A and B are shown apart, each in its own frame.
Chain A
Amino acid sequence: MGALDAQLVPAVDGVAYGLLLFVVAAGLSLAFGTAGVLNLAHGTLYAVGAYTGAELSDGTWGGLALGLVAGTAAACAAGAVLSAATAPLARRGHLDQALLTFGLALIGGNLLVEGFGADEMPVRVPDALDTSVDLLGHRYPAYRLGFIVMALVLAAAGTWVLTRTRAGAAVRAAADDPEMLATTGLSPRVVHTGVLAAAGALAGAAGVLGAPIIGPGPSTGDTVLMLSLVVVVLGGLRSLWATLVAAIGVGEVQTLGVSVAPDWAPYLLFAAMAAVLILRSGRGLAEPHGPDHDADPPPDPAERLRRRLAQVPWPGRGAPAARRAKAAAAAAGGTGAGRTAAALRAVAPLLALVVVLAVLPMMLDAYALSLAGYALALGLLAVSVTVVTGYAGLPTLGQTAPFAVGAYTTAKLAENDWTVGPVQVVVSAAVAAAFCVVTGPAVIRARGTTVLMITVAVGELTAIAIGQWKSVTGGTDGLAGFPSTQAFWGGEPLFEELAIYQYAAVVVVCVVAVALVLLRSPAGKLLTGSRAAEERMRASGHPVTRYLLVAYVGAGALAGAGGSLLIAVQSYVSPADVGFEIAALALLAAVIGGITSVIGALVGAGLIVYTRDWLAGSWPGHGPLLLGVLFVAAVYLLPRGLAGLVSGAPRAVVADGKDGAGGADGAVGGGASAGLPAPRGPGDAETPEPPESPEPPESEHSPESPDGPAVPGPADADPPVRIRKGTT
């Protein structure tokens, strides 16, 4: 009884915390369920409200009221802006929208810090509430009780609108079937904008009122976003009551849980999230219908530019038909020269990588070179994301977990004087792969956005474990002071930037070569086939799940090797090196590269590192802003990634439709790869026959079948990033 009594205050705190999260998470859930926008800027909307409320709070009721109006209005407007920003991407799926909102969150967070300072801002609650009241014999802050009442009013009002009004019915109808909503004369787009604005207003109001609970600071947005994601996942998208229960549960874990079992509470949230997702994968967090993804391909600015350029008569440029005939002849193996050309084209991306890596040191100063080493480590992580997201079709924000495992493995090896580089890389890759054998079954059963959430949970759990397991990982301080890596047996320890860079470059070239060989082998084709047409692959007797597991474990090994490089490059590792932001950067790098391009992912990683560290060096304090701009620009301007920029080049496709030797690595090599979802645009009439996928011939269908749903086939696929839909 006494113990129970002692926990009363944190328990009531948990209710307040939970209601706060409910109001925020309900908006997030609504935006995702209705408009199909996984809004990673939702936490920033809360921060907008919190900063505004804190700024205007002066200890009077008027200040609170003014803050409430201003904060709500500001976040509401920001929500409407988000809606306008994501609307053009509606047909491109959730991943692009998520990346865009993440970019906008980075920009917004940077601007807030700029405007309000990098310190936590104090909040003055109205004097009448700045006291404590008696609660069953305990002193309890009056404001928090008041907050509970206000949050209940807010939640009840929102619930009433959603369930009892015509506007609420329209919102739910838009979540079900936006096309049918349109046929009743209501614009789904207007409903989507309304939902995002209302979600913003709710988050803003919660921010103003909740500022004394989760105060405005640089990390506010991230904290609120993560907790809201957990609530949304736990509550599912179907029921507000379930969301409420989940929110209170999370609130209690954050208060009562931390008070009772401080060591275990952090795990509890993400472990519960992962468990729920895994149990429900396939049905739980159902993909919202969202706008029609099978509609015409979205406009691609790069494609437009390329077609414009194609009309310019370049000297020495053969007619497309002649070029095609030549490529076909070459690929059919008709001539020795043709065969050589095809072989050359197959290794071209790798050769180009080697050349670029060899030339780089001559052009960079020591600082830029050290960044290049880091970019290579991050690049391997991005390649691993490319394999999981682009090839296996499982969008991931969790490859930082095997990356972390690899990094800490190498750090521990070095601590124990195992400093030979190749050994470190191989052991780290093996340990990371073993880690993925354990986590893989949780990831590969789900599809679509559920995978994104599960991988977030996997990544966060790993980061928390690293933070907590101080005796091994050094906790949040990280590990440092271990001996440097040697490039080979008996070699000098690596200190010089150039030597480190050379070591990293060699490792990356070797690892990437192995990855490319595997991805282009028949095994790689099976993987591509099971992404493009999973049902048909299953129906033809392929154990798709096993392929996915193998791919996931292989990608884990790649990430592990990247983690090992990270240690060799920076001789230091902490949880910040393997956190959510790094995961988002790796995903962006893969997307910039064109999501199925291995070399493109490396280039993307380079672009990101130089934007964040080098470019930001000349404009201090704006790293996040520049990164955010990069996210936004990449999503808008490169819908098919860097690989899409050059995919107009002749493709290595054989005449009889078998897979040619073309590389995935359009960025450097020659065009979109055979067997991969060839980016389809209006210009496809001008390009050679799309390649067949490894499928039985009887599964042919006409892409023009007008009645009934069009079955996505490999030939008529694909927007650049095709995420597996939510069924198993």
Chain B
Amino acid sequence: MLRISGLSAGYHGGTVLHDLDLDVPEGSVHAVVGHNGAGKTTLVHTVAGLLRPSAGTVGIAGRDVTGRPAHRIARAGVGLVPQGRRVFARLTVAEHIRLAHRPPRDGGGGRPWTPERVLDLLPRLGERSGHRGTDLSGGEQQMLALARALLGSPRVLLLDEPTEGLAPVLVGQILDLVRTLAGEGLAVLLVSPSPASAAQCADTVTVLTSGRVTARLSGPAVRKDPGELHEALALTAH
């Protein structure tokens, strides 16, 4: 569903991501782990169109969207839950939902997401409907960011450190939610510095070091024996 090949990207003429290949099939979770500065957020931003790649291609459902502006990529079926949530400070929850709701143009993947369906999945948001983005707790903001991404009925969901700064009980809930969404046919790219959360829900784990793929492991194997993943990360500590 999401196919990245030979992708390079960076800032101010410098390159951060080098020649990266990555595939996320429909209904699966692909986790990318790496230390700070490995290029995880750069990867997510490049896929979402917030950063233009210097080389390589990004394909969504067989369509090449490389270098398109962010709003076109969003319409091509990419939803982003960014690092730090970035909910709109001055919009209420209800306004977020109204703004983000966009019926899929071509029927999309499975069932389209409507406000009702999102509120069924995330009932807490219904209770906070009149509150502004900044009045929500961290967990609620995360829910809202997820709702915002889902309301475009994406085929590919990009999650950038969705468990950052959340209480452990919420972390578990979010990761369960990620599994549920993948179960409904979404292709999920999950970026995280924590190998534990990656291992918990991923089908495939990619280790990113200084912008290059240094290991690729299968999720079940990591769950059985996290040693290899830890080794790959430790190796990349510097």
Q: Which residues of A contact B (CB under 8 A)?
A: 166, 169-170, 172-173, 175-177, 179-188, 294-297, 680, 682, 684-685, 702-708, 710, 716
Contacts and interface: CB of A to CB of B under 8 A. Distances in A.
A173 B48 CA distance: 18
B48, B71, B83, B91, most chain A CB atoms within 10 A: B71
Nearest to A717: B12
A183 B80 CA distance: 6
8 contacts: A169-B91, A179-B86, A180-B88, A183-B79, A705-B37, A706-B17, A706-B42, A706-B211
Nearest to A178: B70
Contacts of B89: 176
Nearest to A172: B90
Contacts of B58: none
B50 A182 contact: yes
B16 A706 contact: yes
Q: Which 3 A-B pairs have the closest CB atoms?
A: A182-B70, A706-B16, A185-B74
Contacts of A173: 88, 91, 99
Given A176-B88, A297-B12, A169 B98 contact: yes
A39 to B, nearest CB: 21
B139 interface: no
B11, B42, B79, B149, most chain A CB atoms within 10 A: B11
B102 A184 contact: yes
B46 to A, nearest CB: 10
A177, A183, A296, most chain B CB atoms within 10 A: A183
A30 to B, nearest CB: 13
Contact of A710 (B11, B52, B86, B100): B11
Given A176-B89, A176-B91, A183-B79, A707 B71 contact: no
A169, A187, A706, most chain B CB atoms within 10 A: A706
Contacts of A684: 13
Question: Secondary structure at chain A's binding surface: helix, strand, loop or mixed?
Answer: loop
A684 B14 CA distance: 11
A474 B211 CA distance: 69
Nearest to B133: A176
A188 B91 contact: no
Question: Secondary structure at chain B's binding surface: helix, strand, loop or mixed?
Answer: loop
A707 B37 contact: yes
A183 B41 contact: no
Given A173-B91, A705-B37, A184 B69 contact: no
Contacts of A184: 71, 74, 99-100, 102, 148, 151-152
Interface of B: 10-17, 36-42, 48-50, 52, 69-71, 74-75, 78-80, 82-83, 86-91, 95, 98-100, 102, 148-149, 151-152, 211
B10 A185 contact: no
Contacts of A176: 88-91
A172 B91 contact: yes
Given A166-B99, A180-B86, A296-B13, A706 B48 contact: no
B149 A706 contact: no
A682 B69 contact: no
B13 A682 contact: yes
Nearest to A707: B41
Given A166-B98, A184-B102, A704 B14 contact: yes
B98 A183 contact: no
A704 B9 CA distance: 11
B86 A177 contact: yes
A716 B14 CA distance: 11
A170 B10 contact: no
Contacts of B39: 706-707
Contacts of A704: 10-11, 14-16
Nearest to B49: A182
B12 A680 contact: yes
Contacts of B50: 179, 182-183
A187 B36 CA distance: 31
Nearest to B95: A169
Given A294-B11, A704-B14, 8 more contacts: A169-B91, A169-B95, A187-B69, A296-B13, A682-B13, A704-B10, A706-B11, A706-B41
A728 B126 CA distance: 38
B37 A182 contact: no
B41 A169 contact: no
A170 B86 CA distance: 15
Contacts of B37: 702, 705-707
A716 B82 CA distance: 25
Contacts of A295: 11
A563 to B, nearest CB: 41
A172 B91 CA distance: 7
Contact of B36 (A172, A708, A716): A708
A169 B99 contact: yes
Contacts of B152: 184-185
Nearest to A188: B71
Given A183-B149, A187-B69, A707 B36 contact: yes
A175, A702, A707, A716, most chain B CB atoms within 10 A: A707
A176, A295, A708, most chain B CB atoms within 10 A: A176
Contact of A296 (B12, B38, B75, B98): B12
Given A169-B91, A294-B11, A183 B82 contact: yes
A182 B14 contact: no
Given A170-B99, A184-B100, A703 B12 contact: yes
Given A177-B88, A183-B82, A706 B10 contact: yes
B12 A183 contact: no
Contacts of B15: 704
B73 to A, nearest CB: 8
A716 B88 contact: no
Contacts of A185: 71, 74-75, 102, 152
B88 A707 contact: no
